[in-house]
Amino acid sequence: MMNGFEYAGMGMVLASSFRAAIYCRLSKDDDLDGESASIANQRDMLETYCEKQGWEVVAVYQDDGYTGLNMERPDLKRMLKAIERRQINLVITKDLSRLGRNYLQTGTLIEDFFPRHGVRYIAMNDGIDTMRDNNDIAPFKNILNEMYSKDISKKVHSSYLLKAQKGQFTGCLAPFGYRKDPEDKNHLLIDEETAPIVRRLFAWALEGHGPNYIRRRLEEEKIPCPTYWNRVRGLRNVSTKWEKKDPVNGRYIWDFTVIKDILMNPVYTGAIASQKKEYRFKIGTIGEKKPEEWIVLAEDIKIKNSPVKEKIIEILKDNGGAFEINYFMQFFDSNIVSVCKTLADNGIRVIVAGLDMDYTGKPFGPMPDLMAVAEYVTKVHAICVRCGNLAHHSHRLSDNDKLVMLGEKHDYEPICRHCFNELMKKEHQ
């Protein structure tokens, strides 16, 4: 084992042989750490340190907006490939948590991957240097980092849930056609530059055209895709696969799923939909929730569209001559009836779904008119939680008197006609 003098001397001898890579990471959770945790500050700190040590910095890798629990980060993967190609033999981070917060995977990098490839690793603020015999604390720091990340994750997601229940926007990027309010990031404003594009999409959809037709029209008229708009505005530094192949014309090619996502997003009807993805700690997003599990609250923001005047149709499926609208039809205005009738008159099988009554027991929105013009009506009933008979009503348990308030079991209960009437009598006594 070398003493401090021997180590310092050896470091001076070896300084010129190190090909250093700086790795920086910042996630949304790290916003809690303030400015000191920013990507720019991490980079400046580490470059200054390497300069003082006489190390050549051959590459800087940075993953902005990625949790430390996710080891599938683009620049981390790039760095590991460079290590495998023997282009790097020194990796330095601000602290151990920048490399990762998953103690098993981070430990594998430090204890296995780096040594096998002859890489020295330094976590500057934690005093960890794999070239020195001072790393016994590293496994414990990894565990503490994961515990901290788990605690922060709970707090962040609880905060998002609370904001969603208040009808606030919690997404990272504003939906295409909108922008975040500079004075309140949880509030959306209409973006007058891109909103006309959204109106065009819905106008074509209302004419009975599907996503494939819309995609061709967007390409023909050379309308840039949302990814391009986000990039030129400095919101996301990414490109589509078509832009990578053809930087000039690729911006005008829209992904099929992007068009469908826009057409099915209730934000364009004046509602904020949140909690649409299923999330698990350490794994992240594991899938999409069913629309009935979303939190959807009405907001006084919508991109008005003249063909539908107030609200906009959503296309979920356009396949084999069938046209399904399988999401909260009760929230649309009467214009949706004529849209569905026009589609049916043109030989398209139309399937719609929605609640026929609101929480007060009154007919809900356009549902009565839709049932009147339909060839077939199927009513699906739950079971009354009070007596076990067929449930006809969704009884709201909270005191909120807003017409639109979606919730789960703690907000509503299915009850039969008799139980509903008994409750109404008690409430009006």
Q: What residues are annotated to the active site?
A: 324
Q: What does residue 61 show for φ and ψ, rounded to 5 degrees?
A: -115, 135
Structure tokens at 260: 């469908």
Contact 93, 106 (CB under 8 A): no
Q: How far is residue 1's CA from residue 326's CA, in Å, rounded to a whole number?
A: 69
Structure tokens at 30: 């790290």
Q: How far is residue 11's CA from residue 53's CA, in Å, rounded to a whole number?
A: 8
Among all chains, which residue has been given the structure tokens 């390409």? 219
Contact 352, 370 (CB under 8 A): yes
Q: At what angle do helices 195-206 and 256-264 cross, to 10 degrees?
A: 90
Residue type, 216: R
Q: Pairing relation of β-strands 178-181 and 317-319?
A: unpaired
Contact 164, 170 (CB under 8 A): yes
Chain-centre distance of CA 28, in angstroms? 12
Alpha helix positions (H), 166-237: 195-206, 211-220, 226-232
